[in-house]
Amino acid sequence: MTADVLDDTAAGPQTHAFEADVAKLLHLMVHSVYSDKDVFLRELISNAADACEKLRYEAIAQPDLLGDDPAPRITITVEADLRRLTIEDNGIGMTAADMAETLGTIARSGTKAFMDRIAAAKGAEDTQLIGQFGVGFYSAFMVAEKVDVISRRAGQDQAAMWSSDGLGTYTIGPVEADQAPARGTRIVLHLLEDAADYAQAPRIEQMVRAQSGHVPVPITVKDKPDADGNQVADGTALWTRPKSAITPEEYKDFYRSVAGQWDDPALTLHYRAEGRHEYSVLAFVPETRPFDLFDPDRKGRMKLYVRRVFITDEAEILPRYLRFVRGLVDSADLPLNMSREMIQDSPILAAIQKGLTGKVLGELEKTAKDDPAAYARLWDTFGAVIKEGLYEDFERRETLLRLARFKTTASGGEWRSLQDYVAAMPENQTAIYYATGSDLDRIASSPQLEGFRARGVEVLLLPDQVDSFWVRGAIDWDGKPFKSVTQGAADLSLIPLAEGADKPKPEASDAVGGFLAFVKETLGDAVSDVRASDRLTDSAVCLVASESGLDRQLEKLLANAGQLPAGSAPVLEVNPAHPQIERLAALPESDELRTDAAHLLLDEARIVDGEPPRDPRAFAERLARLIARATA
């Protein structure tokens, strides 16, 4: 049920069915799939605080919305005898249509991902998924047999009530004014028998202090509706306090709230910038990947405040390759009455973006220097995203190259920096060699790497899609360009062989040379060239791109994306010293096997490269003829 079909004129409550995804989710909640049910309170308090912040923003343009009640607050009331828990705020509130849209559907695209993950979630991971996938309100059904939501939108007279037992339907209808808050939302949880301890004031106070003490809205707990109440949190924004007055637990709790995750922050960045522009920053690098890290829109999740007034969480405060950073910026200079669209174009925000980006990258560099093991874990989690900056952020490319880490043919599965790579280069190596692909193990076993290994030349193994793009940006490190091992001639002859490596034959024999010319003529347009290879030591053949063409992996990516009508013809490189090639070269020119062999060599190279034969039926027929001859 969505807002456009809700009948606001109905006299009584209307019953509606939840959308399918919500119904599935509620089934999981009702059947208590989570090991830590305490999470529900944090989620409901977070929603209430957001409602108060939204009202503060709306009141900038419409001060009358605050009426005679300008101070935001959250009140939690426990009623042990009724097994009831109430969370009330005086924030922006909701209309009946808002309720249908907000509580009857899950608008965020994370729902499907949540449903896919939850079936396999076990143990500690369970508690991360609620906030991570934007379904926090529904966590109330872990502890409640029924939930009532009574709300009145700021500036309106009508109030409405949403109610559900979480079993598939909900009702929405009008409610008398004296039964609703003057403004804001009241959520009433009718607790399950095994959740009765959540109706005890000491338990709730302890949970608020532990989970939500940082919330920038005062929180009061009452042990009965007409009691005075005990203020548990004073509403002081954590980021306005000095670092020395904040405990690691408070930072962790704030991070979990702002990030919607239940891991620990890997890095915490808290500072106040002063000078031409003044702003406060409290930002975190997560320990684990957020579920939306690879969303196509690649949106950041930094919140923007102006003098503690929440403005938006859609401003591009950090470049997209740092979208895993969670937190907020509170500006003292941006005008409160500026629209969200105008803020994005503001030179003040541009200055904040530049300063914060430099700070984040500086903190990453510091971690890489002071704690290499911690940085390796961080890079393992977010390296594929940070590398997007090598393609997009020319201004900071040198810094990003210093931060970059790579698995290589010599790293034994560990991460290596470019500084490590260059320091280990053998004599006469003038380029930084790399190999791209879609799978690390397959790249590492590529035949194109054989000649490099024989000479002790380390090769960067690049398995991420973005790798095929940033390496083509005419970049270098320490004066040495990046060069693909699958493109152009290898030029390995000047690099001495590693100790103990077999010396290759200096050049192809006349017989092999004649056979290569025959193969090229036979294959025609299927290849751009057939040549003897100095990069092969064990394999018979491999495919490479021409010097002026696209790298083969990039060509595949563009073709799969429909941006290339067809790939260019590759170069077929042949190992002239391979016994298979020498035997084929020795066949009489009249032997029909030579023609089949030419096509089979190309198909062999394609298969090793992860591609199917050009013509599977013809490949099968040629292979059958070869087997028949071998067994005759």
Residue 87 β-bridge partners: 76, 187
Q: Quote the pLDDT of residue 37.
A: 81
Question: What is the rounded average pLDDT for all residues in the chain?
Answer: 87
What value does the mean pLDDT take over residues 147-161?
Answer: 96
pLDDT band at residue 508 using 50, 70 and 90 as cut-offs: confident
Q: Quote the pLDDT of residue 134.
A: 42
What DSSP element (H or E) covers 306?
Answer: strand 301-306
Structure tokens at 15: 């019953």
User: Do the Cβ atoms of 573 and 487 come closer than 8 Å?
Assistant: no
pLDDT band at residue 132 using 50, 70 and 90 as cut-offs: very low
Q: Which residues contact 245 (CB under 8 A, 6 or more apart)?
A: none
Calpha distance 204→211 (Å, rounded) = 10
What value does the mean pLDDT take over residues 154-183?
Answer: 93
Q: Report the chain's terminal Cα–Cα distance, integer Å.
A: 74
Which ranges in 327-464 belong to alpha helices (H)?
340-344, 347-370, 372-386, 388-392, 397-403, 418-423, 440-444, 450-454
Write out pLDDT tens, residues 419-467.
999 999 988 899 999 999 988 999 999 999 999 999 999 999 999 999 9
Q: Quote the pLDDT of residue 365.
A: 98
Q: Quote the pLDDT of residue 64.
A: 95
Q: Quote the pLDDT of residue 383.
A: 97
Q: Quote the pLDDT of residue 2.
A: 44
Lowest mean pLDDT among 134-143, 151-160, 270-279, 409-418: 134-143
Distance of CA 53 to the CA centre of its chain: 27
Calpha distance 604→127 (Å, rounded) = 50
Q: Quote the pLDDT of residue 253.
A: 86
What value does the mean pLDDT take over residues 45-57?
Answer: 90
In sequence order, what E strands does 457-561 have? 459-462, 476-477, 480-484, 529-532, 541-544
Calpha distance 329→343 (Å, rounded) = 13
Q: Quote the pLDDT of residue 549.
A: 74
Residue 212 in this model has a pLDDT that exceeds 60: yes
Q: Which residues contact 451 (CB under 8 A, 6 or more apart)?
A: 490, 492, 533, 534, 535, 536, 537
Distance of CA 280 to the CA centre of its chain: 25
Calpha distance 330→542 (Å, rounded) = 56
Name the 3-class secondary structure at 528.
coil
Full 3-state SS string of 192-256: CHHHHHHHCHHHHHHHHHHHHCCCCCCEEEECCCCCCCEEEECCCCHHHCCHHHCCHHHHHHHHH
pLDDT band at residue 307 using 50, 70 and 90 as cut-offs: confident
Residue 115 in this model has a pLDDT that exceeds 80: no
Lowest mean pLDDT among 95-109, 205-219, 505-519: 95-109
Highest-confidence range of 33-47, 551-565, 567-581, by mean pLDDT? 567-581
Calpha distance 324→337 (Å, rounded) = 29
What value does the mean pLDDT take over residues 357-384?
Answer: 97
Phi, psi angles (nearest 5°) of residue 240: -90, -10
User: Do the Cβ atoms of 491 and 533 come closer than 8 Å?
Assistant: no
Residue 221 β-bridge partners: 76, 230
pTM: 0.73
Residue 290 in this model has a pLDDT that exceeds 90: no
Residue 110 in this model has a pLDDT that exceeds 50: no
DSSP state of 9: T
Count each helix (H run) and each strand (E run) in the chain, helices first.
Answer: 21, 22
What value does the mean pLDDT take over residues 296-325?
Answer: 87
| Angle (deg, nearest 10), helices 593-608 and 510-523 | 80
Residue 551 in this model has a pLDDT that exceeds 70: yes
Q: Quote the pLDDT of residue 126.
A: 45
Give the amino acid at 163: S
Q: Quote the pLDDT of residue 518.
A: 96
Q: Quote the pLDDT of residue 133.
A: 38
pLDDT band at residue 595 using 50, 70 and 90 as cut-offs: very high
pLDDT band at residue 7 using 50, 70 and 90 as cut-offs: low
pLDDT band at residue 62 using 50, 70 and 90 as cut-offs: very high
What value does the mean pLDDT take over residues 225-234?
Answer: 92
Q: Which residues contact 62 (CB under 8 A, 6 or more apart)?
A: 155
pLDDT band at residue 374 using 50, 70 and 90 as cut-offs: very high
Region at 45 (left for phi over 0; alpha for psi -120 to 50; beta for the rest): alpha
What DSSP element (H or E) covers 75?
Answer: strand 74-79
Write out pLDDT tens, residues 610-627.
889 989 999 999 999 999
What value does the mean pLDDT take over residues 56-81?
Answer: 94
CA quadruple 286, 266, 332, 235: dihedral positive or negative?
A: positive
**How far, in Å, are 111, 177, 309, 596 from residue 294 at the CA level?**
15, 46, 30, 46
User: Do the Cβ atoms of 187 and 148 come closer than 8 Å?
Assistant: yes
Residue 123 in this model has a pLDDT that exceeds 50: no
User: Do the Cβ atoms of 568 and 529 come closer than 8 Å?
Assistant: no
What value does the mean pLDDT take over residues 511-521?
Answer: 95
Q: Quote the pLDDT of residue 111.
A: 47
Lowest mean pLDDT among 24-33, 74-83, 139-148, 412-421: 24-33
What value does the mean pLDDT take over residues 504-527?
Answer: 88
**How far, in Å, are 156, 219, 454, 556, 563 from residue 567 at the CA level?**
63, 63, 31, 7, 10
User: Do the Cβ atoms of 360 and 283 come closer than 8 Å?
Assistant: yes
CA quadruple 13, 17, 21, 24: dihedral positive or negative?
A: positive
What DSSP element (H or E) covers 44?
Answer: helix 39-61
CB-CB neighbours of 5 under 10 Å? 9
Phi, psi angles (nearest 5°) of residue 257: -70, -50
CB-CB neighbours of 513 under 10 Å? 14
What value does the mean pLDDT take over residues 71-92?
Answer: 97
| Angle (deg, nearest 10), helices 248-259 and 39-61 | 70
Calpha distance 631→392 (Å, rounded) = 58
Q: Quote the pLDDT of residue 173.
A: 95
Name the 3-class secondary structure at 111.
helix
Name the 3-class secondary structure at 472.
coil
Residue 162 β-bridge partners: 149, 172
User: Do the Cβ atoms of 122 and 139 come closer than 8 Å?
Assistant: no
What value does the mean pLDDT take over residues 77-105?
Answer: 92
pLDDT band at residue 139 using 50, 70 and 90 as cut-offs: confident
